[in-house]
Copies of this chain bind each other. A is one copy, B any other.
Amino acid sequence: MHIYIQRNNGISITRQIVLAVIDQILSGFLQEGEKLPSVRVLSKQLNVSLLTVVKAYRELEQQNFLYSVQGSGTFVRKKNNDIETACIEEPLTQDWQLSVPDYLPRSQLAQFHHVPQKIHLASSMVDPELLPNRHLKTAFEHLIQEDGTFLSRYGHTQGDQQLRLAMQQYLSGLGVYTQIENLLVTNGSQQGIDLIARTFVGPGDVVILEAPTYPGAIDIFRNRGVTILTVPLDQEGMRLDILQQLFDKHHPKLIYTIPNFHNPTGVLMSHKRRRKLLEMAQNTQTLIIEDDPWGEIYYDQHPPAPIKSMDEYGHVIYLKGLSKILAPGCRIGVLSASGSIFKRVLAAKANADLGTPLVTQKILLPFLEPSIVESHMQNLRTTLKIRRDLALEILSERCPKEVSWMVPQGGLNLWLSLPEWVQSHLVLAEANKKGISFLPGSSCFSVEHENHHIRLSFSFVSQELLREGITTLCEILAGIILSRKNSHSSPYF
């Protein structure tokens, strides 16, 4: 167990330990029944007083996250809130491993991605039925018959040249004009964020995230040991007035933003804010990561041009994911940056894995023909808009009035805000019983958790299942809200 203690960020050390342990429990990193390090061991590891750890553990017990057994130790409480006797799954012979500290305070995504639920509303993924499977198959069969030697060759660390050429053209259609020398093929956008983080930030550096934001990015920056500061969003995207206040007090090194149909809220950043954000970064020599996983999936009008399109001096590192909207099985993304910033990220890629597999790049290549890919995006927009509208319709009809949401103009997600006393991970436990999954909002917050939000992805399941899932979820929420009205012994608050 690793907890980065920051002694100058205004949050007490006890509170930092509490938040970190909650984080590890909610993210599934500490599992039900698992034993925590003893007070003595943790206080030594973190170089804090015994009393600090005692207070933190006591608070966690009061919040029902932990329980202690006299003479045995402190354990993670089961989600059903029953007190359990200690259960340790690991063989005792491997107990010594617990004394090996690590650098991994958080890993939200390991657990939510593959929960085998009938109605999967948890991951921002596109229904496989809507993806160009058949086309990719046929094109790949041709390719492999013509020349299958790419199976036995390593690709270039930077990525296949033909794919970079195709991506150069594709990105120009989005307003990002770049050279193939400034493109790096990555194993999805997740790796792109990770490469940038490992190259440029570490303990002592300040990184700005939107709150809420993509959990995978939080994991990455938390694991780099940086100081994370957050900026909330309004209808136009990141609140730049609050960002300015942070700039006045701190020297951020990096800003991570998702301007197009922000994950998880769906907010679209306005053109004016994009320009202003870039100016602020230029004035302070701050790097911007512009993550754009689904800017193509707009339901009304085309989003404003990417921040990268205005980037004259190399402040913006632009990430375009292709996995979600084209071929998840290939997990391909592309990163565009310039100058020494690019060169250093490329070197980090060599360290990380020496290069993205050539095969996945070659499979994607034929599909990037402009007419083909544009027609696919057009179809996706049409079909997903129908699903979004269906989801909104059911919510309007069935959802308790205490729950609110915004209509997303694009992307794959709906962001529901529940009454503050409802804990979304307890709602999730109920939903799981009915075969439904979603992403609890706490995953999307990096510092103080707001635990009363839900991210629903309407893009993965069929219309039929979507209807069933959201209807059931509305019933669950209604039941919870009703139970509060009837009783004060509900486990939800």
Chain A residues engaging chain B, CB cutoff 8 angstroms: 29, 90-91, 93-94, 96-100, 102-104, 107, 109-110, 113-114, 123, 125, 128, 131, 133-134, 136-137, 140-141, 144, 148-157, 186-188, 190-191, 194, 198-202, 216, 219-220, 223, 253, 285, 287, 312-314, 323, 327-332, 338-341, 344, 346-360, 362-363
Q: Are A152 and B137 in contact (CB under 8 A)?
A: no
What residues on B are CB-neighbors of A128 within 8 Å?
Answer: 149, 152-153
Question: Which of the listed residues A201, A339, A353 has the most CB atoms from chain B within 10 Å of its own CB?
Answer: A353
Question: Which of the listed residues A186, A330, A362 has the most CB atoms from chain B within 10 Å of its own CB?
Answer: A330
Q: Are A104 and B199 in contact (CB under 8 A)?
A: yes
Q: Are B350 and A312 in contact (CB under 8 A)?
A: no
Top 4 nearest A-B pairs by Cβ distance?
Answer: A107-B347, A94-B339, A128-B152, A110-B350
Question: How far is A220 from B352 in the complex, measured between Cα atoms in Å?
Answer: 8
Q: Are B97 and A153 in contact (CB under 8 A)?
A: no
Whole-angstrom distance between the Cβ of A322 and the nearest chain B Cβ? 12
> How many protomers of this protein does the assembly include?
2
Question: How far is A103 from B345 in the complex, measured between Cα atoms in Å?
Answer: 10
Whole-angstrom distance between the Cβ of A5 and the nearest chain B Cβ? 15
Q: Are A357 and B330 in contact (CB under 8 A)?
A: yes
Q: Are B358 and A329 in contact (CB under 8 A)?
A: yes
Q: Are A331 and B154 in contact (CB under 8 A)?
A: yes
Q: A329-B359, A348-B104 are in contact. Are A152 and B131 (CB under 8 A)?
A: yes
Which residue in chain B gives the minimum CB-CB distance to A156?
A: B114
Question: How far is A348 from B352 in the complex, measured between Cα atoms in Å?
Answer: 12
Q: Are B360 and A187 in contact (CB under 8 A)?
A: no
Q: Are B152 and A96 in contact (CB under 8 A)?
A: no
Q: Are A339 and B91 in contact (CB under 8 A)?
A: yes
Whole-angstrom distance between the Cβ of A23 and the nearest chain B Cβ? 12
Q: Are B157 and A314 in contact (CB under 8 A)?
A: no
Q: Are B330 and A285 in contact (CB under 8 A)?
A: no
Q: Are A339 and B97 in contact (CB under 8 A)?
A: yes
Q: Are A109 and B350 in contact (CB under 8 A)?
A: yes
Q: Are A151 and B125 in contact (CB under 8 A)?
A: no
Which residue in chain B gives the minimum CB-CB distance to A113?
A: B157
Question: Which of the listed residues A134, A312, A348 has the most CB atoms from chain B within 10 Å of its own CB?
Answer: A348
Q: Are B354 and A113 in contact (CB under 8 A)?
A: yes
Question: How far is A278 from B29 in the complex, measured between Cα atoms in Å?
Answer: 29
Whole-angstrom distance between the Cβ of A185 and the nearest chain B Cβ? 12
Which residue in chain B gives the minimum CB-CB distance to A29?
A: B347
Q: Are A285 and B113 in contact (CB under 8 A)?
A: no
What residues on B are CB-neighbors of A285 within 8 Å?
Answer: 96, 99-100
What residues on B are CB-neighbors of A94 within 8 Å?
Answer: 313-314, 338-341
Question: How far is A125 from B99 in the complex, measured between Cα atoms in Å?
Answer: 39
Q: Are B202 and A103 in contact (CB under 8 A)?
A: yes
What residues on B are CB-neighbors of A110 within 8 Å?
Answer: 157, 346-347, 349-350
Q: Are B144 and A200 in contact (CB under 8 A)?
A: no
Q: What 10 additional pairs, Cβ within 8 angstroms, besides A94-B339, A104-B199, A329-B359?
A: A94-B341, A96-B285, A100-B253, A103-B198, A104-B198, A128-B153, A137-B151, A152-B327, A187-B356, A330-B357
Whole-angstrom distance between the Cβ of A273 and the nearest chain B Cβ? 23
Question: How far is A97 from B343 in the complex, measured between Cα atoms in Å?
Answer: 11
What residues on B are CB-neighbors of A190 within 8 Å?
Answer: 351-354
Q: A314-B97, A330-B357, A348-B107 are in contact. Are A144 and B140 (CB under 8 A)?
A: yes
Q: Are B351 and A107 in contact (CB under 8 A)?
A: yes
What residues on B are CB-neighbors of A90 within 8 Å?
Answer: 339-340
Partner of A133, one of B148, B154, B186, B187: B148
What residues on B are CB-neighbors of A330 within 8 Å?
Answer: 151, 357, 359
Q: Would you mind naming 8 contact pairs between A and B with Cβ atoms under 8 Å apart?
A: A94-B314, A102-B200, A128-B152, A194-B351, A219-B351, A328-B358, A329-B359, A331-B355
Question: Which of the listed residues A136, A219, A223, A351 has the most CB atoms from chain B within 10 Å of its own CB?
Answer: A351
What residues on B are CB-neighbors of A357 within 8 Å?
Answer: 187, 329-332, 357, 360
What residues on B are CB-neighbors of A358 within 8 Å?
Answer: 328-329, 331
Q: Are A151 and B351 in contact (CB under 8 A)?
A: no
Partner of A154, one of B125, B194, B359: B125
What residues on B are CB-neighbors of A103 within 8 Å?
Answer: 198-202
